[in-house]
Structure 1
Amino acid sequence: MKTMMIKPLVIAVGLTMSVMANAQSSQEVEQLRQEVQQLKALVHQYAQQNQTVQANLNQLANTAVQPPVAQKASTEKRGLGMTLGNAEFNLYGNVRMDGSYQIEGGAKDMPYNQINGVALEGNAENSDRFRSTLAATRLGLDFKTQVGAEDVKGKLEVDFLGGNLDSLRIRHAYLTYADWLIGQTWSNFAVPDYMPETVDALAYAGGAVKRTPQVRYTAKFSPQTNLVVAAEDPKDNSITQRLPALTARLNHQFADNMSVSARAMGHEKRINSDEEMAWGVGLGAKYDVTPSTTLKADYYHVKGDSSFVSFANKGVAVTNLDDKGVITATSAIAAQSEFDSITVGLTQKFNEKLRGTVGYGYMSFDQDADYLAATPADKRTGVNKDLWQAWANVFYSPIKPVSLGLEYVYGERTALEAATNGSNKGEDNRINMVAIYNF
């Protein structure tokens, strides 16, 4: 561009000198003046064009060196993934702090549900008391590797809710291959899928949070229907056993917004040579009324067992125990407990950060005179006629890894036999709180 500008200038200067040296007439001079003016205009035009082109080049250069817009980093954490050899691992867990203010009731010094043993009115109630723990803090490891044409998957998960809420315990520890599962995980009979959400880590009356060692097989009839059968060790410490419990669960998805589960359980209870069959059935349903509103309900009828559904009376009453309540060589089964239970709840998701649940749970036990008579006299106020609890909670997640929960629960238990002061009812009136950080 500079060369194009200089050339017209040189021509103009040369013409001017020629005019001064060889001017012959005023007409020639005037003509030369006009040509000079034209050349000046041409130079000015070239200068303007040069400025425009240079500005465009500068703009293109600036655009080329602009760094790309940085994407905002996600705050969500989904564990720590790694690959070793042909195996994939994912480490996950949470830090969880639970708190509970017992307005009325309470017996054990723990911040979790104890409705089946809540103190009867006027009998050593632990009212107006705050408790807290981090025992539900959890650590888990998922892993997967390929063997032949199939994946072998597994899970190992622990928390600190063992013993007196301060010792490590196994929650899940299992392997899966094709349609088989071997290890410990949620019971095939007492599944938590249809239980309304609670802040309380141990759920409420009518709920079940049972994990058992088991061998499980899943038969898939269609994408919507499958049958799961299992042999489980219910670990019922109140009785001996020769065989594992057999459980079956039929799952069906009616539509994208509704699923149901029908379940059955059978288990031999044995004291010395005395044997009785414990059994139970269950039915659960989940229905998404709207994309943000979910209804859950779960029902059980069980006879002779207390190991699967939480807060039940002991499955069997045993005769001829020693003075410490231990089974002796002459002990036998006197009677079996039988009960019905139901839980129902509605969860509403208000937005991505806030949701809430209202729920109700109820358990009703048969009033068996033989069962009560076989129970030691000092234990009879602990045998329940019915239990119920109602609760309402909210969960708030200000950022993805953090969840804060607040819950109010009120419940009552009615004992089959009254205490010495004549009271046969106990209250559970509590406020629960939880703070969870997931990683």
Structure 2
Amino acid sequence: MMKNNKIIPIALACFTAFSASASAAEIEVGGFIKGNIRYIGGEVPYNTMWIGSGAMQSESSNKTQISAQESRFNAKFTHNGVVGFAEIDFVGSDQGNGVISNSYSPRLRHAYIKYEDITFGQTWSTLVNTSTFPESADLGGPLVGEAMIRQGLIRYQYGDWKFALENPNTFGTDETGEKLSTDNDYIPDMIVRHDTKGDWGNISVSALVRYLDPDNTSEVSFGGSAAAKFHTFGKDDLRIQLHYGNLGRYVGTVAARDIYNGEVETTTAGTIAYRHFWNDTMRSSIFYGRTVTEKEQTDRYQVGVNLFTNLTPELKVGFEVGRYEVMDTINQLNTSENCASDYVQFTMQFSI
């Protein structure tokens, strides 16, 4: 065992080397602290955000929750042309509860390396155009119709083109209705995307190709996606997403499966949002999102309208009302009852 007089110089040398490396890198810290007051009343159970799932509970209920779970923190490191980015928040944690301390554990949102035209790590899927997310109090807006997925990937960008291999993961059920195994997910999903942008806004068009091979089901599937943000009058803008094909888990935030009872699912989904500025700082967005599936015959939508204003450049407050509804086709395979809930949300967000 080393003596203490040898351990101390070694520790000092390691610390000095780390400090020199850190000081050479450019570090940017960001994120925001966000507080929400959220009320939900209806047959769909309370959720911190509306995702594409939903099943009728035994009785209608009313619930209010005050939370800061959506607060997030990130750091960006730049050194010798290499960029590293990592971000965490606290949404979806199973650790905290409202009994005593609400001690929610962090979750990883992003962690990636970017060097020249290569991005490698976990971040937004290449299918996702974040500029088309509406401004909303409810996290992400109408997730039920959006492409809003983060996962591991390696991506190459050539001008306005992006080519990516992304993490394969089959979400769905076999012929007996049992959850599919992902043990045979060995070929990465492939995405090609083209971006066009100008003073008028931007448009992205993407194509997805996947090889699905779970539990004796071997299929090649295809899907397409288009998303756009258009500047209209003054500071107003229109945001649109349209998705069709074998997109499965890529759209709707679990509103659609990749495979349903052994058959590849076909999904039609989309969102539309219009943001209007009443003055320099006060604005409203009205948005609608919906996903419909062919095999499972699910049909879910969310609609909302809000009012935001900035008290300072870094501090904004917003008020939103909306509705989430399940309108699935009732048959021998899908026997759950349709349901709906209304929500009201107040939010305050301080950007770092």
Q: TM-score range by the shorter chain?
A: 0.7 to 0.9
Give SS of 2:128's match. Answer: coil
> Do structure 1's residue 349 and structure 2's residue 312 form an aligned pair?
no
Give SS of 1:140's match. Answer: strand
Q: Per-residue deviation at 1:172? A: 0.9
The equivalent of 1:158 in structure 2 is 88
Maintained 8 Å contact 2:202/2:228: yes
> Do structure 1's residue 393 and structure 2's residue 323 form an aligned pair?
no
Return the alpha-carbon distance in structure 2 between the equivalents of residues 118 and 429 of structure 1: 15
The equivalent of 1:79 in structure 2 is none
Deviation by residue 1:92-123 (Cα, 9 ceiling, x = unmatched): 2221122211122332x43211453142xxx4
Alignment of 1:252-267 (within 5 A): 252-253=196-197, 255-267=198-210
Return the alpha-carbon distance in structure 2 between the equivalents of residues 145 and 294 of structure 1: 36
Return the alpha-carbon distance in structure 1 between the equivalents of residues 247 and 316 of structure 2: 39
Give SS of 1:351's match. Answer: coil
Maintained 8 Å contact 1:236/1:307: no
Return the alpha-carbon distance in structure 2 between the equivalents of residues 344 and 307 of structure 1: 18
The equivalent of 1:168 in structure 2 is 106
The equivalent of 1:186 in structure 2 is 124
Q: Per-residue deviation at 1:268? A: 1.6
* Matching residue's letter, 1:99: I
* Matching residue's letter, 2:190: L
* Matching residue's letter, 1:406: F
The equivalent of 2:38 in structure 1 is 100
Q: Per-residue deviation at 1:256? A: 0.7
Maintained 8 Å contact 2:133/2:140: no
Maintained 8 Å contact 2:55/2:338: no
RMSD: 2.4
Task: Flag the 1:90–1:263 CA change in 2: closer, same or farther, 3 A.
Answer: same
Give SS of 2:311's match. Answer: coil
Q: Per-residue deviation at 1:265? A: 0.8
Greater gyration radius: 1
Deviation by residue 1:305-358 (Cα, 9 ceiling, x = unmatched): 22444242322134xxxxxxxxxxxxxxx2122111111111112333211101
Maintained 8 Å contact 2:193/2:204: yes
Alignment of 1:60-209 (within 5 A): 84-107=22-45, 109-119=46-56, 123-146=57-80, 151-164=81-94, 166-204=104-142, 205-209=144-148
Return the alpha-carbon distance in structure 1 between the equivalents of residues 331 and 337 of structure 2: 4
Identity of aligned residues (%): 21
Return the alpha-carbon distance in structure 2 between the equivalents of residues 284 and 92 of structure 1: 27
The equivalent of 2:291 in structure 1 is 363
Return the alpha-carbon distance in structure 2 between the equivalents of residues 227 and 160 of structure 1: 33
> Do structure 1's residue 339 and structure 2's residue 339 form an aligned pair?
no
Task: Flag the 1:281–1:103 CA change in 2: closer, same or farther, 3 A.
Answer: same
Return the alpha-carbon distance in structure 2 between the equivalents of residues 95 and 278 of structure 1: 40
Task: Flag the 1:304–1:192 CA change in 2: closer, same or farther, 3 A.
Answer: closer
Give the number of the structure whose residues are more often helix, by fraction.
Answer: 1
Maintained 8 Å contact 2:87/2:111: yes
Deviation by residue 1:278-309 (Cα, 9 ceiling, x = unmatched): 32100111110123110111100132622444
- Larger mean CA deviation between 269-278 and 394-403 belongs to 269-278
Deviation by residue 1:192-245 (Cα, 9 ceiling, x = unmatched): 32232221114312113211111011001xxxxx00111111544554211111
Alignment of 1:172-251 (within 5 A): 172-204=110-142, 205-220=144-159, 226-236=160-170, 238=172, 239-240=181-182, 241-251=185-195
Q: Per-residue deviation at 1:84? A: 4.0
> Do structure 1's residue 275 and structure 2's residue 212 form an aligned pair?
no
Give SS of 1:248's match. Answer: strand
Maintained 8 Å contact 1:157/1:171: yes
Q: Per-residue deviation at 1:407? A: 0.7
Q: Per-residue deviation at 1:363? A: 1.8
Question: Where in structure 1 do 4 or more consecutive aligned residues deviate above 6 Å?
Answer: none
The equivalent of 1:417 in structure 2 is 330
Higher relative contact order (CA 8 A, sep 6+): 2
Give SS of 1:85's match. Answer: helix
* Matching residue's letter, 1:232: E
* Matching residue's letter, 1:310: T
Give SS of 2:53's match. Answer: helix
Q: Per-residue deviation at 1:252? A: 0.7
The equivalent of 1:62 in structure 2 is none
Return the alpha-carbon distance in structure 1 between the equivalents of residues 284 and 139 of structure 2: 16
User: When the two structures are superposed, what TM-score results if normalisation uses the length of structure 1?
Assistant: 0.66
Return the alpha-carbon distance in structure 2 between the equivalents of residues 202 and 285 of structure 1: 16
* 5+ residue gaps, structure 1: 1-82, 221-225, 319-333, 369-382
Return the alpha-carbon distance in structure 2 between the equivalents of residues 272 and 388 of structure 1: 31
- Larger mean CA deviation between 83-92 and 398-407 belongs to 83-92
Maintained 8 Å contact 1:279/1:305: no
> Do structure 1's residue 295 and structure 2's residue 238 form an aligned pair?
yes
- Larger mean CA deviation between 159-168 and 297-306 belongs to 159-168
Deviation by residue 1:383-413 (Cα, 9 ceiling, x = unmatched): 5531122210111211122111111112321
Return the alpha-carbon distance in structure 2 between the equivalents of residues 414 and 258 of structure 1: 34
Return the alpha-carbon distance in structure 2 between the equivalents of residues 304 and 272 of structure 1: 19
Maintained 8 Å contact 2:122/2:153: yes
Return the alpha-carbon distance in structure 2 between the equivalents of residues 423 and 244 of structure 1: 34
* Matching residue's letter, 2:74: G
